[in-house]
Amino acid sequence: MARGPELPSVAQLLEIAGDFGIDMTPERAAEYRVTMAGGIRAMRRIDDLPEDQPEVKYPRTTGRRPKPEENPYNAWYWVTDIKGAADGPLKGERIGIKDVISVAGVPMMNGSRVLEGYVPQIDATVVTRLLDAGSVIVGKTASSDFSFSSGGHTSAFGPVRNPHKPSHSPGGSSKGSGAAIAAGDVKMALGGDQGGSIRIPAAWCGVVGFKQTHGLVPYTGCMGIEMSFDTVGPMADSVENVARMLSVLAGPDPLDPRQRGVIPDDYVEDYLPAIGQGCEGLTIGVVEEGFGHKADTWPDLQFLPSDRRVDAKVRATVKGMKQMGAKVRKVSVPMHYDGMRIWFALAAEGAVDVMHHRAGLGSNWQGYYDTPLLDHVAKSLKARPNDIPMTVINVLLMGEYLRRHYHGRYYAKAQNQRGSLAASYDAALEECDVLVMPTIPQLSGPIPPPDAPFSEYMFRSLNMLNNCPQMNATGHPAISVPCGMIDGLPVGLQIIGRHFDDFTVLRAADASEKLGDWRKR
């Protein structure tokens, strides 16, 4: 049986009281210590009682690290061969799993040395659903360090490279999934998206990546960053395969608080009928604020300006959809620029709370808490603080500063501003079925060298967030579909839809894909 917590010492209570700014004498601390004895004994009993946890349904072996010759782009952290059900809608499909998603018995690092040695005891709900559908889990794809970078250079075992141009970034943080699909290793993979981390690597790797409506797909068993926009979703070599995956992944999970009151318990939807419908009759809104960014569009944030060639490829795709029968109109969403700032305020303080103070799980919600993950992360953060990546240190310092000196004011204000931000896109979607803009208004940049200065390391991690995080703040579904090549590098078209109208987003994405081979556009 577990021993449980020890009764705190007087010195420990005085230290905690001091942190709270409470004046306390040793004598009073001793009195408080006596009153805590019963509560501490109760905690010991909690340790003795068994926990409910999801069933691990399919046998597997641990797997292994891939050999260099079978992992030329460093897309894979771990390789496995976990077979699911004998039949199902994804029968025999080989699928990669981003290494922020738990697969029982298979090591998980979330791209970081800090988590080295952790082996989950459960399968995430999305993994169980994929296996129930007959798929084969062939490995864990590499993630950015703590999933907190959109560059290719931040990962525990070295940079992940873009299969189209190995000297350049595949985007992040689901970069291993994007690179593995682009390299032809698998047709489908799971990614995670808190600020564009599915759509950014999809755009730069030339694959399809879908951040569906927030809450549509359960997050149980995945390490989080900010609970109000944590998302896990499908990436694939085609819109059809994304639709196949989403049909399996979507639906309620009583263990995930993100879904409570969001979708009905009997929710069932097949997204495959969206494929092949074309775009005749659809109204497409071209969001002008998504194009033509200048160096001073975000003077407070270090984003690159738009590449006119990228803008042109996206507009040419929209023109092609118009020729296929879609109606096209210009729309304006002025809050698009401030949407990035609202997201940043949420990410800065929210990530500190979830990632550091609550070890990737957060608190004050009802559902499944992965206590082995909680224990490992908490201990590792204390034991290996100097292995925390610079991108995470940056947000920890800023978020904790704001929390300590401004008592969560900016996080709270940003949460209060989310409604207005969502309403600004909803207003445009009253006139249009979907909205479009470049996923990333620049081409993939070079991977910085290992000895790159701090400024370049940070710049190459976060300089491409112009158009993606806004949809995390609002929860709207958004997909990235390849729509052209420039200098051997892919360009992505982002399509945004109404909440829970993921079907129409997939319909429009499939229509854009059917304009012809994007590599030749």
Q: Note the pTM of the prediction, 2 decimals.
A: 0.94
Catalytic residue positions, numbered:
98, 173, 197
Same domain? For 150 and 36 the reply is no
Q: Residue 324: which H helix or E strand, with range?
A: none
Same domain? For 21 and 98 the reply is no
Q: Say how far apart CA 462 and CA 476 lie, in whole Å.
A: 22
Does 109 map to a domain? Answer: yes
- Residue ranges in the chain modelled with pLDDT below 70: 1-3, 265
Identify whether the C-beta of residue 85 lies closer than 8 Å to the C-beta of residue 120: no
Same domain? For 26 and 117 the reply is no
Q: Say how far apart CA 256 and CA 129 lie, in whole Å.
A: 14
Same domain? For 201 and 313 the reply is yes
Q: Say how far apart CA 86 and CA 94 lie, in whole Å.
A: 14
Cα 118 to the center of its chain, rounded Å: 20
Quote the pLDDT of residue 352.
84
Same domain? For 405 and 479 the reply is yes
The predicted-structure confidence for 151-193, as pLDDT tens digits, reads as follows 888 898 999 999 999 999 999 999 999 999 999 999 999 999 9
Report the half-sphere exposure of 67 (CA within 13 A, side-chain side): 2
Render 111-165 in DSSP notation, one character per residue. T-GGGTT---SS--HHHHHHHHTT-EEEEEEP--GGG--SSSS-STTS---BTTB
Identify whether the C-beta of residue 162 lies closer than 8 Å to the C-beta of residue 182: yes
Quote the pLDDT of residue 1.
39
Render 357-368 in DSSP notation, one character per residue. ITTTT-SS--S-
Task: Tell me how many domains the chain contains.
Answer: 2
Strand-strand pairing, 208-211 and 327-331: unpaired
Same domain? For 216 and 355 the reply is yes
Same domain? For 105 and 15 the reply is no
Same domain? For 104 and 24 the reply is no
Q: Letter for the amino acid at 383? A: A
Q: What is the CA radius of gyration of the chain?
A: 23
Q: Residue 236: which H helix or E strand, with range?
A: strand 232-236
Same domain? For 26 and 162 the reply is no
Strand-strand pairing, 327-331 and 283-287: parallel
CATH number of residue 465's parent domain: 3.90.1300.10
Residues in Cβ contact with 179 at an 8 Å cutoff, skipping those fewer than 6 apart: 73, 74, 75, 141, 142, 160, 161, 162, 163, 170, 201, 205
Q: Say how far apart CA 443 and CA 502 lie, in whole Å.
A: 27
Does 1 map to a domain? Answer: no
Cα 414 to Cα 126, 256, 342: the distances in Å are 30, 24, 5
Same domain? For 283 and 407 the reply is yes
Same domain? For 139 and 287 the reply is yes
Quote the pLDDT of residue 302.
76
Does 58 map to a domain? Answer: no
The closest alpha carbon to 36, from 2, 9, 11, belongs to 9
Q: Tell me which residue range forms the domain holding 485.
A: 68-520
